[in-house]
Structure 1
Amino acid sequence: MKTKIILFILTIFWISCGKQVEVNAGLDAKLKELETLKQQHAAISAKMDSVQAEIIRLDPSRGIRPKLVTTATITPEGFNHYIDLQGTVSSTNTSYVAPRNGMGGYVKQVYVKAGQSVKKGQLLLKLDDQVLRQGIETTRTQLALAKNVYDRTKNLWDQNIGTEVQLLSAKTNMETLENQIKLQEEQLKTYLVYADQNGIADIVNIKVGELFTGMSAAGPQIQIVNNSKLSVNIEIPENYTGKIKQGATVMVEIPAVGKTFKASIDRLSQSINPSSRGFTAECNIPATAGVKPNMSAYTKILNHSNSKAMVIPVNIIQSDEKGKYVYVLVSKDGKNIAAKKSVVIGQLYDDNIEILNGLNAGDAVIIQGYQNLYEGQVVENQQ
């Protein structure tokens, strides 16, 4: 039994060795085949390099690898230059209510509240007029006496008693007091404060017993705002003097309400503010829901327009001792090369610049890959 087991193990070992010999023989064949292919590849590569070198010797330009660029074809287009400034919305019809007597007085009654809608001629306040009323009563008493004196003097004059001077004096005194009462009664009306326009009582900063003069240290005591007519006030630096004209187009944006309007400059101040070193422009905008006085506005004032401009990105312009230039793609001898073109620049707005001279419609301006280019360099257009 033991002998049979040993024979079985030896048989298995002989079979395994035989298979390993077959595997090794196949691997050697493949390795030799790979080595042969490598030698053939090396020979072909060497031949290709030799041919390429001969081609470059015959035509040196073919040895230069083209630089990748991107171009944009120039076509005439509209170009606008704006002056970007900040403005403030204001109401054209804003009224600061003031006492009509010119002096004011202590408030006896208040007939309006902040935020209330009011109409022109509506009673807002009543000022204390007690002193004036007492003066009127005194004058009336004096008038009654003057009338009595005049009547007596007139009766005596009719009886040829007394002088004409006495009669005229009595009459003059009576008429003077009558006129004085009329004046005092008119003055009495000035102690009533009325709204001088329709609108909203935006500010009512006055109470009974307080002194009403129209303005206080905190600002207006009563302000009426009528938002039916709105405008935007723009403070313009003095260095723009002469560059902005009345009637110029203005794009107005009110960011708080997301509204944009097209307007024009309606009024332009003719003097420089010594504090801000600027002058003021005003443009009317339509009354729109949500737009309120004192809101911030972003404005763009049009001061230059060209309907057929050559426009390119400002970043592609380069400079040398001769001036400004750009690179354009041109074809020469069947190849694309970079050519330098001198340009005369105009206005700049945002990232674009106006070209006044140097470029023509149809020019392929290099807008990417222009860095480190040189005149005549071979390029390949990616677009």
Structure 2
Amino acid sequence: MLTPQQARQRLRRISSLNIELAESFDQLLNDLLSEGKHFLCVDKISVWLIDNIDVPKKLNCIATTESKICTSSSLGIHKYPNYFENILLGNTIAANNVATDIRTTELQSHNQTNTRAILDTVIFHNGKPQGVVSCESNIQHHIWHDEDIIYAESLADSCSRRLMAYETLKLQKQLRELAFVDTLTGLKNRRYFNERVQSAKNSQYRLQSPLSLIMIDLDHFKRINDEFGHELGDIVLKHFAKNCLGKLRLEDTLCRYGGEEFIVILPYTTEAQAGLLAERLRTSIENMSIYHEQKVVKVTASFGVAEMGLEDSIEETIKKADIAVYAAKKSGRNCVVSS
């Protein structure tokens, strides 16, 4: 049996474990809540977060040691004024009898709980109450001891740190994704291409599978900008990107390589197969009609296809695809040339 001090040390170790982006807060907090339930010997522990930390209106249940969260689990501030007053002041609520404690009687009168004893400790974020960790016991005449309260407050702090780390991880992921996205077209950018093509090359070598690239260059794009303006040029790029994405497989990657140049990474694809796909893309682009301010713009593109041999470098294959695009331009544009 652990002493209270040993239990808190164990909780600190668990809360320091590295986390990953989880599908739910339930998964994120499961180990902490299970540890708390075991030490406190309670029937259930749940985590509730305030909907708006600056203008709170309700608490929503986001994680629990029960098998699943009831989607309707929420507490409105207007129904539970005494309870919320204590929570928003940052007070711990250690109610040995839910039915008689003025801070918790509202919970039972509104049929929110059949629990006999509740120990609720506040989760803080930047000094403000963000939510509560609620420990519930169905044992009659349950008594919350000082060591229980100290432990529960440590559990709330551990949940707070885990939630803050999770938000930081999410923000880092979002920033990383933004760094790889072309803001105009929504496609991945050249920086992403450089990482993704290296990953595809590694997989190709490991699996001994084919890998091809398609380089695409919009024809006479400068003329479109000069005649119709850059606003319409941007619209053309967006339409082009949307059109091409609809023709690709999930495993294919279309990137904006620069200006009106684009490149497609095609795993498990031979040069002949890539050539057929390029022709389908060419035809679909040729058939596009872009309407803007009573103007109709037609656009075509030139394609260069190159397969990356197992011993070929990425740079060599990009160069082959680029040379093929140049050959397509010399051949009159709006065509596909394989290396």
With normalisation by structure 2, the TM-score equals 0.20
* Larger proportion of helix: 2
Which of 1 and 2 has higher RCO (CA within 8 Å, sep 6+)? 1
- Structure index of larger Rg: 1
